[in-house]
Amino acid sequence: MPGYRDRIVHVGLGADEGGLNLSMPDQVIAAVGARGEKAGELLAGRFAPTPTAKDRLTDPQSGDQVQLTWDNQRWIRYRSLMAALEVVVQRLRRSWQDSERPEATWWRSYAELLARGAKDLPSSYRIRNLGQRKFAIEATHEILEAAERWEKEGTFDRGASTSAGRSPRPKPLLRVMPSGSNDPRAERAG
């Protein structure tokens, strides 16, 4: 992924190094460790924070001016995130609109579900707190308005090339998935 791949250093290993070579001699372990240390120095040199946009870093390996700075990484990740977020927000908008079509009479719209009373069905994961319900309604409408504005006025991912405004490729996907733990108590612990 753009914004991640540039912060990976491949440390080459010989057939007798690393992996399942559990009985490596001390000098082989030291050599592998030294290469890892150099890789760490390379990354630290390339991605050291710069206080102003005018600061320039020198690549510790090549001596060239660094193009892949931490600011550059953060910018690429922002562009990628916003392009992926735009897709999710547009999908939400389409689903919201589809739920309000006149022919969709056999289900309640998302707006009706969001505005239903504390005792109205369905009872799963209700929002009982009035302040939270008010926030949920307002925030959802703000997201839907942003999606409409993005569709009418602009996009985070336009053009056939990056110079024409296209976001970094491959374009990431935002997915709803469980956290690393299937234990619901893990979320409360943090």
Q: Over the range 27-48, which residues count as b (16 or more CB within 10 Å of their CB) and which as e?
A: ebeeebeeeeeeeeeebeebbe
What's residue 89's pLDDT? 93
Q: What pTM, to 2 d.p., does this model score?
A: 0.70
Per cent of the chain over pLDDT 90 is 26
Length of the chain measured in residues? 190
Question: How much is the pLDDT for 137?
Answer: 94
Question: Can you give the residue ranges of every domain in the chain?
Answer: 1-68, 82-175
